[in-house]
């Protein structure tokens, strides 16, 4: 009898695990399909539930002259880059490249790291970032702290523990911020380690990786 009960528990657990994994994959693939089938800037505001009219209002409120150079229109990417500008500056990114790194962080936080890395590759091809900034951005984007992953994990946790739905919802956003902050701190540590290597006469890990 005990063996039968144990077998039933294992069977039910296996079936439930497959169901949860299927739900996780469907959610992740759906969000990725929406993001990849659209322009990154358009998908960014679609995920946030914002429309172009609100962007126009923001542009009118701040004024193009306050954010952009003369003759430049305020776009979603420019707006995200300006809002998150202090983050890469605090991390130690070169001041003239903080806006580019801030755009990458914004794309990663609002969509996912795959699209952010794709944008990073485009910036690398046209030479917008130095090897040091590229390496810091690579570490900063390396996490699952994005709305899509958060939705997947919330769905799985609520399915496992329906009675803890309120607790999961209460800590979900804090978990997102914690995950993003961890990646940013990792980028800072990696940059500091590379600077220490250079100061002691060792070849920089960032420079060697980009050279390869």
The answer to whether 156 touches 20, Cβ cutoff 8 Å, is: yes
- 52 within domain boundaries: no
Rounded to the nearest angstrom, the gap between the alpha carbon of residue 78 and the centroid of all alpha carbons in its chain is 17
- 69 within domain boundaries: no
- 135 within domain boundaries: yes
- 33 within domain boundaries: no
Q: Is 175 exposed, middle or buried (0-12, 13-18, 19+ CB in 10 A)?
A: middle
The answer to whether 124 touches 92, Cβ cutoff 8 Å, is: no
Our count of domains for the chain comes to: 1
Q: Give the three-class secondary structure for 58.
A: helix
Helix and strand tally (H, E) in the chain? 12, 0
The answer to whether 84 touches 102, Cβ cutoff 8 Å, is: yes
Sequential DSSP letters for 76-143: HHHHHHHHTTHHHHHHT--GGGHHHHHHHHHHHHHS-HHHHHHHHHHHHHHT-S-HHHHHHHHHHT-S
- 68 within domain boundaries: no
pLDDT recorded at residue 37: 46
pLDDT recorded at residue 56: 52
d(CA 131, CA 82): 22
pLDDT recorded at residue 210: 46
Per-residue pLDDT of the chain (212 residues; tens, 9 = 90+): 444 444 343 444 444 554 555 555 555 555 554 454 444 444 444 444 444 445 555 554 444 444 445 445 555 666 777 788 899 999 888 889 988 999 899 888 888 888 889 999 999 999 989 888 898 999 999 888 888 888 888 888 888 888 888 888 888 888 889 999 999 999 988 888 876 655 555 455 555 444 44
- 20 within domain boundaries: no
Q: By residue range, what is the domain housing residue 192?
A: 76-198
- 209 within domain boundaries: no
- 118 within domain boundaries: yes
Predicted TM-score (pTM) of the model is 0.64
């Amino acid at each position: 009898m005990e063996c039968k009960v144990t077998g039933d528990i294992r069977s039910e657990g296996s079936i439930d695990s497959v169901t949860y994994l299927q739900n996780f994959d469907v959610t992740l693939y759906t969000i990725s399909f929406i993001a990849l089938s659209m322009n990154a800037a358009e998908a960014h505001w679609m995920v946030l539930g914002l429309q172009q009219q609100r962007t126009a209002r923001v542009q009118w409120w701040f004024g193009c002259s306050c954010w952009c150079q003369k003759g430049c229109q305020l776009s979603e990417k420019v707006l995200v880059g300006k809002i998150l500008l202090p983050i890469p500056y605090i991390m130690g990114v070169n001041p003239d490249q903080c806006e580019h790194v801030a755009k990458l962080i914004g794309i990663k936080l609002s969509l996912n790291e795959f699209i952010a890395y794709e944008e990073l590759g485009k910036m690398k091809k046209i030479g917008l970032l130095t090897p040091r900034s590229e390496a810091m951005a690579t570490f900063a984007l390396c996490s699952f702290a994005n709305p899509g992953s958060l939705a997947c994990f919330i769905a799985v946790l609520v399915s496992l523990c329906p009675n803890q739905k309120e607790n999961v919802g209460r800590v979900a956003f804090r978990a997102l911020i914690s995950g993003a902050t961890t990646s940013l701190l990792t980028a800072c540590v990696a940059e500091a380690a590379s600077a220490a290597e250079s100061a002691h006469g060792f070849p920089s890990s960032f420079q060697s990786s980009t050279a390869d």
